[in-house]
Amino acid sequence: MKANTVASKALSIAVMAASLILLFAALALDFTGSGFKGRGALLVVGMIGFFVGLYLFPTPKNHRKIVYIIFLFPLLFTFAVTVIIPLVLGIGYSFTDWTGVAITKNVGLANYSTMFHDPAFLYSILITFIFVVLNMVLINLVGFLLALLCTSAIKATGFFRAAYFLPNLIGGIVLGYIWQFVFNNVLTKMTNTSASILSQSKPALIAIVVVYLWQYGGYIMLIYITGLTQIPGDVLEAAAIDGANARQTLFQIKIPMIASTITICTFLTLTSAFKQFDVNMSLTNGAGSVPNFMGSYLSNGTQMLALNIYNTAIAKNSYAVGQAKAVLFFIILAVVSLIQVRVSNSKEVEL
Amino acid sequence: MKKQVLALALAGVMAAGLAGCGGSSTSSTAASGSTKEASSTAGGSGKSLRLVNGKIEVDAQLKELAAKYKEETGVDVQIESMGGGVDIQGTLKGYYQADNMPDIFVNGGATDFANWEGKLADMSDQAWVKDTDAAYTDADGKVIGFPYTTEAIGLAYNADVLEKAGVDPKSITGPDSMKKAFETIDAKKDELGLTAVIGYCAEATNLYWSTGNHLFGVYEDGGLKRDDSTYYDMLSKDGSIDKDRFGKFADMVALFNQYSDPAILVSGTYDQQILNFASGKYAFVTQGSWIGATMTSDDKEAYDAAGDFKVGMVPYAFEEGQDTILTNSPSWWAVFQNDNTEEAKKFLQWCSEDKGQDILVNKAGFVSPFKSCTYVASDPFAQTITDYTKAEKTSSWHWLGNKEGLAQNALGVVFQDFAAGNIPDAETFASTIEQVSKQYYAS
């Protein structure tokens, strides 16, 4: 029995060692730029072999833990590759003069100081917050009202649900271009003006809000419909028997009953409005003039945070500053989301 | 025991899944490296090149060029066209990060070439270099850019309309004569069938390059000798503008605002602008020689219907006596250093020779930068460019070296604002441009 354990332990370690050698050989081949075609297979075989060896390791006490690790690995690995590593790399890049192709030196906090001295960026932050607040309120309001409409006793609710939801199926970029056409060609013809509302900052911002509302309202409506239809019938019936009118039912029964849905929806609208990029880019690409903001004339009157970051990196070719802005963006998003979830959660407990 | 078997089976499934992911990722990375093999089996000879073209208007013609080359040498050249406001350098950087670089790609000027320092093939030893003056040379004197066309920026006009209106294009030599010509044409607008005197579009979202690069480029180089870069140097230093010169330029822009078609002035598109010009609805249009290709392909019907009128260019004479139009190679093809470099060089050499030039000049309408080329493009503007070049009445252009994104992120909107009337007068326009450009260079 003892000999058996030793043998299987040796086998396990041998398999793991051999696999690791394969794994590192594959990585070494890759980094040295070898053209050997089998290196991918080598890598995968090495990876799998390592876990087989680990699984065979004779330890009754920790066997379960090993199995957990093996099963968790794919997810953790993907998460690390797509989220954690880029995040760390990105923070690293923000302290250098990265151009997207090469890094020549470390610049410390210079990128951060540049971005806070840039009125255009501060303006972007400002309008992003305005946009987020407007959107959060409007989308939830409209979504909820549409949901009430679509759960009421009117005819053809199925049709209306589909119709309101449909804009969400069109991608943001396409939507932006469609609406750009509407604002620039259709609306100008109808009102008989030459300049479209997209050529001025404030109306253009409202246009973005409207388009985004049009796109996202139906989606939020769908979530509210799910919430509303899940309210137990007996509660509503009890309310009706107690003589509650429609308004009382709405405010005293329905809204409290779907508090968790409201949490989800505010959270969804908040974060998605913050990340707004595609409609913004295709509709105005950030263009718009602001005659005087902190003493300077700005030409990015409708440029929201995400687009500003993109333009800094791509159009202005300063990847490092863009990266620094992205780090700030990450922090803002993380803080706002955490606060929002906390506030909503505490409210739910009260109810 | 049963449980253990189950666990093992599940682990096996998971491993297979992992292998699946791994396998697919290997094959996809291999794909970019080995398009060569993949397409060679189809093509037969074993080579494949990828060219990123920045002039979307000649996409079809370049594909024809590629087909011809394949027919002759068996090398497959894939044409990937970008343009019309697409940020090509940004896309290329993405390709670079993804290890998916094309073998030949377009570069617009010093800022673009600087991105790829040390990564481009030296083509100094190529035969075509001796045949042209327009090759792009880096600071060390190495030839790294292949010129493929010559373009011109000037105030394009419809010669038939001008003739009917009794305006001699040669008489436009300065701001006063330009104004007079505009007034004359404006008075006869209805009988000439014009919508407006000039098709000037200052839309900032998609057409920022027309105003912020080309028109602004006229301020930088208009009327100067080819080696004179006074105003470009001034701008490069800290974004400064020569007030006196720009003031006169601003007056010209104000004139354009006044006489432009209001339907496209603030919210128009390139397509509308060119279509209307090709249909004979404008006497002038503020676009360069590249619109010739659009007029004879996309807008062919309208252009034919309008009688295939003659076109020409007058200088943007915002100062009396400015008699040059701006000509240059708008961009160059650079060869990325990789396994395909030699093949790519061969392709470019072929392009500079008779068969390549035949397609590039006669089909794509490029004005050949090669001296040995005997073809003259059928492009409506080809003759104009040749005339100005022969008379040595051309200026170079330097806007390609403006700080990256200047037009898109700063200047375009100011032109739009001026056109929309948000900026009341030319003086405010000039001071705003200066403020914005200084700010942009400082950040």
Domain ranges of chain A: 2-111, 113-350
Flag whether B29 is in a domain.
no
CB contact under 8 A, B115 and A99: yes
Radius of gyration of chain A (CA): 28
Q: Which of B412, B416, B439 sits opposite A296 (nearest CB)?
A: B439
Identify whether residues B169 and B298 lie together within a single domain: yes
Radius of gyration of chain B (CA): 25
- The domain total for chain B is 2
Q: Which of A37, A184, A300 sits opposite B267 (nearest CB)?
A: A184
Chain B residues with CB under 8 Å of A55 CB are: 8, 11
Chain A residues with CB under 8 Å of B210 CB are: none
CA dist A60 and A56 (Å) reads 11
Chain B residues with CB under 8 Å of A287 CB are: 204-205, 208, 412-413, 416
CB contact under 8 A, A70 and B11: yes
Identify whether residues B125 and B197 lie together within a single domain: no
Residue of A193, A317, A319 best to disrupt the B interface, most CBs of B under 10 A? A317
Identify whether residues B353 and B415 lie together within a single domain: no
HSE toward the beta carbon, residue B5, CA cutoff 13 A: 2
Looking at the complex, report in whole angstroms how far the Cα of residue A130 sits from the nearest Cα belonging to chain B: 22
Q: Is the ipTM of this complex over 0.95?
A: no
User: Could you tell me the CATH number of the domain that includes residue B78?
Assistant: 3.40.190.10
The residues facing B336 across adjacent strands are B120
CB contact under 8 A, B413 and A311: no
Chain B residues with CB under 8 Å of A292 CB are: none
CB contact under 8 A, B115 and A100: yes
- CATH architecture of the domain A113-350 equals Orthogonal Bundle (1.10)
CB contact under 8 A, A315 and B18: no
Q: Which of B97, B267, B405 sits opposite A196 (nearest CB)?
A: B267
Q: Which of A39, A70, A316 sits opposite B404 (nearest CB)?
A: A316
Backbone angles phi, psi at A214, to 5 degrees: -60, -40
Identify whether residues B273 and B292 lie together within a single domain: yes
Give B408's DSSP letter.
I
Q: Which of B26, B111, B420 sits opposite A200 (nearest CB)?
A: B420
Looking at the complex, report in whole angstroms how far the Cα of residue B351 sits from the nearest Cα belonging to chain A: 29
CB neighbours of A336 closer than 8 A, spacing ≥ 6? Answer: A270, A271, A274
CB contact under 8 A, B93 and A101: yes
Flag whether B33 is in a domain.
no
Judge contact between B83 and B54, C-beta under 8 A: yes
Identify whether residues B263 and B177 lie together within a single domain: yes
Identify whether residues B285 and B347 lie together within a single domain: no
Q: Which of B19, B30, B265 sits opposite A48 (nearest CB)?
A: B19
Return mean pLDDT, chain A: 88
The residue ranking higher by pLDDT, B87 or A221, is A221
CA dist A121 and B320 (Å) reads 41
CB contact under 8 A, B26 and A41: yes
Q: Which of B409, B414, B436 sits opposite A311 (nearest CB)?
A: B409
Identify whether residues B341 and B271 lie together within a single domain: no
Flag whether B10 is in a domain.
no
Q: Which residue is closest to B96 within chain A, CA to CA?
A: A101
Q: Which residue is closest to A281 within chain B, CA to CA?
A: B205
Flag whether B32 is in a domain.
no
Helix H or strand E encompassing B106: strand B104-107
- Residue B109's pLDDT is 80
Residue of A56, A112, A194, A284 best to disrupt the B interface, most CBs of B under 10 A? A194
Q: Which two tokens stand for residue A333?
A: 């998003």
Looking at the complex, report in whole angstroms how far the Cα of residue A49 sits from the nearest Cα belonging to chain B: 9
Number of Cβ pairs closer than 8 Å across A and B?
Answer: 146
Identify whether residues B280 and B412 lie together within a single domain: yes
> To 10 degrees, what angle do helices B2-33 and A39-56 make?
160
SS3 state at A84: helix
C-alpha to C-alpha distances, B241 to A139, B162, B233, B310, B354, nearest whole angstrom: 46, 34, 10, 36, 44
CB contact under 8 A, B208 and A287: yes
CA dist B62 and B289 (Å) reads 18
Identify whether residues B117 and B243 lie together within a single domain: no
Identify whether residues B175 and B62 lie together within a single domain: no
- Residue A348's pLDDT is 59
Helix H or strand E encompassing A234: helix A233-241
CA angle (A92 as vertex; A90, A93 as ends), nearest 5: 65
pLDDT band at residue A189, thresholds of 50, 70 and 90?
confident
The string of pLDDT tens digits covering residues B147-198 is 888 889 999 999 999 999 999 999 999 999 999 999 999 999 999 999 999 9
CB contact under 8 A, B266 and A194: yes
CA angle (A86 as vertex; A80, A87 as ends), nearest 5: 95
Chain B residues with CB under 8 Å of A285 CB are: 205-206, 408
- Residue A54 pLDDT more than 70? yes
Judge contact between A278 and A263, C-beta under 8 A: no
Q: Where are the alpha helices (DSSP H) in A32-118?
A: 39-56, 63-79, 85-93, 110-116
The stretch A205-211 carries a mean pLDDT of 93
Looking at the complex, report in whole angstroms how far the Cα of residue A299 sits from the nearest Cα belonging to chain B: 5
| Distance of alpha carbon B410 from the chain centroid | 19
Q: Which of B115, B205, B263 sits opposite A287 (nearest CB)?
A: B205
CA dist B230 and B234 (Å) reads 6
Buried b or exposed e, range A338-350, using 16+ CB within 10 angstroms: eebeeebeeeeee
CB contact under 8 A, A297 and B414: yes
CB contact under 8 A, A195 and B443: no
Identify whether residues B287 and B139 lie together within a single domain: no
CB contact under 8 A, A289 and B410: no
Q: How many CB atoms lie within 10 A of CB B342?
A: 11
CA dist B28 and B41 (Å) reads 18
CA angle (B156 as vertex; B151, B157 as ends), nearest 5: 150
Q: Which residue is closest to A56 within chain B, CA to CA?
A: B8
CA dist B274 and B268 (Å) reads 11
CA dist A140 and A194 (Å) reads 34
CB contact under 8 A, A47 and B22: yes
Pairing state between β B143-147 and B136-137: antiparallel
C-alpha to C-alpha distances, A34 to A31, B28, B38, B144, B392, nearest whole angstrom: 8, 16, 19, 28, 54
CB contact under 8 A, A287 and B413: yes
CA dist B40 and A20 (Å) reads 36
Read off the pTM.
0.76
Please name the residue that has the structure tokens 């050698």.
A21
CA dist B407 and B210 (Å) reads 9
Q: Which of B7, B267, B435 sits opposite A188 (nearest CB)?
A: B267
Flag whether B18 is in a domain.
no
Longest dimension (CA), chain A: 93
- Residue B12's pLDDT is 60
Backbone angles phi, psi at B328, to 5 degrees: -170, 170
Chain B residues with CB under 8 Å of A52 CB are: 15
Q: Which residue is closest to A300 within chain B, CA to CA?
A: B409
Identify whether residues B335 and B300 lie together within a single domain: no
Strand ranges of the sheet holding B143-147, from the earlier edge strand across to the other edge: B76-81, B48-53, B104-107, B332-335, B143-147, B136-137
Tens digits of pLDDT across chain B (443 residues) = 566 666 666 656 655 554 444 444 333 333 333 333 333 333 445 678 999 998 887 888 899 999 999 998 989 999 999 876 677 888 898 898 888 899 999 988 877 888 888 889 999 988 898 887 778 888 788 889 998 888 899 999 999 999 999 999 999 999 999 999 999 999 999 999 999 999 999 998 889 999 999 999 999 999 898 878 899 999 989 999 999 999 999 999 999 999 999 889 988 889 999 999 999 999 999 999 888 878 888 899 999 998 889 999 999 999 998 999 998 888 899 999 988 899 999 999 999 888 888 888 888 878 888 878 888 877 888 888 888 887 888 888 888 888 888 998 889 999 999 998 888 999 999 999 998 999 888 87
CA angle (B154 as vertex; B149, B160 as ends), nearest 5: 105
- Residue A281 pLDDT more than 70? yes
CB neighbours of B118 closer than 8 A, spacing ≥ 6? Answer: none
Note down the domain range covering B209.
153-327+404-442
Q: Which of B399, B437, B351 is nearest to B224 (CA)?
A: B399
Determine which of A161-170, A281-290, B25-34, B129-138 has the lowest per-residue pLDDT on average. B25-34
CB contact under 8 A, A317 and B111: yes
Q: Which residue is closest to A98 within chain B, CA to CA?
A: B115
Flag whether B39 is in a domain.
no
